[in-house]
Amino acid sequence: MKISVLGSGSKGNSSFIEIGDKKFLVDVGFSMKKIEEKLNMINQSFSDIDGIFITHDHGDHIRSFGAISRKYDIPLYIHKKSLKEVSHKMGKLNQDKIVLLEEKKILIDNIMVENFDVMHDSANNLGYSFSYRNEKLSYVTDIGRITNIVKMNCMNSDILAFETNYDLDLLLEGEYPWTLKNRVKGNYGHISNEEAAKMFSDVQENRLKKIIMLHLSDENNDESLAYETVRKYVKNDIDIEASKQDEPTKIYMLEK
């Protein structure tokens, strides 16, 4: 089981995941050309990808959805509400490539992919858990509140890629107008370092080995501050890494 976050933040989001003999992307929030460049940086390409999973319909997560559907023979997994929200913005879609996620669990060969509801101000937002043999990776971004559903689905993860969007003090003291501050910290906005760290503490148990912090705000967060906040809540043997907006993280391979 491997993961590289190709880029994460308000300007675009996409991650590469390899499980067994399958390779997936979660979100395609950059141009198709930019994603190809990022994949090449980790010695991958679109021709290697077996499926693309979309979390939600905001542009920084779905930008090249339409272009990919037209060019590549890759299944695109998406919730019907998200598809309805963006279908008129994406040009002509190749419907044969689109798989609507009507069930909470799907099996791709022997890989179980579970989707679960995440609170955010989009038409619909999904988190994902990928399970293969005795390994599990969970992926959650753009989340306003941590519900029991989210926490339950993140339990028993070996790898957890999860949003740590803002530091509350930096947000409140920053230059955002109050309407935007309230949106960010609201139930359907984003999650703070502290809130995420407390959840990590609740789900770390004996299995969690890697945390990748997603969607760090340029204005209201700092990589070292996010790291220090999370570090206070999790065991010392859990590796913590911050994703970047402009460059992929090194491929992390789970070792058991």
For residue range 96-151, what is the model confidence (pLDDT) as tens digits? 999 999 999 999 999 999 999 999 999 999 999 999 999 999 999 999 999 999 99
* pLDDT band, very low/low/confident/very high, at 205 (cuts 50, 70, 90): confident
* pLDDT band, very low/low/confident/very high, at 224 (cuts 50, 70, 90): very high
The torsion angles phi and psi of 38, rounded to 5 degrees, stand at -65, -40
Tell me the per-residue pLDDT of 34-68, one tens digit each, with 9 for 90 and over. 999 999 999 999 999 999 999 999 999 999 999 99
**Per-residue pLDDT averaged across 190-210, rounded?**
97
**Per-residue pLDDT averaged across 224-231, rounded?**
98
Q: Above 70 in pLDDT, residue 256?
A: no
What is the share, in percent, of the chain residues with pLDDT greater than 90? Answer: 95
The torsion angles phi and psi of 127, rounded to 5 degrees, stand at -100, 165
Nearest one of 145, 154, 111, 106 to 125, comparing CA atoms:
145
Distance of alpha carbon 174 from alpha carbon 152, whole angstroms? 34
Tell me the per-residue pLDDT of 65-97, one tens digit each, with 9 for 90 and over. 999 999 999 999 999 999 999 988 888 888 999
Instruction: Tell me the domains of the chain and their CATH numbers.
Output: 2-253 (3.60.15.10)
Nearest one of 55, 60, 47, 42 to 2, comparing CA atoms:
42
Copy the structure tokens of residue 44. Answer: 């991958």
Cα angle vertex 200, ends 198, 205, to 5°? Answer: 120
Q: In what order do the strands lie in the sheet with 239-242?
A: 105-108, 111-117, 126-132, 135-140, 159-163, 210-214, 239-242
> Residues 198, 154: contact at Cβ < 8 Å?
no
* pLDDT band, very low/low/confident/very high, at 255 (cuts 50, 70, 90): confident
> Which range, of 44-53, 91-100, 169-178, 193-202, averages the lowest pLDDT?
91-100
* pLDDT band, very low/low/confident/very high, at 214 (cuts 50, 70, 90): very high
Predicted local confidence at residue 197, as pLDDT:
99
Predicted local confidence at residue 174, as pLDDT:
96
Q: In what order do the strands lie in the sheet with 14-19?
A: 98-100, 76-78, 51-53, 22-26, 14-19, 2-7, 252-253
Distance of alpha carbon 71 from alpha carbon 77, whole angstroms? 16
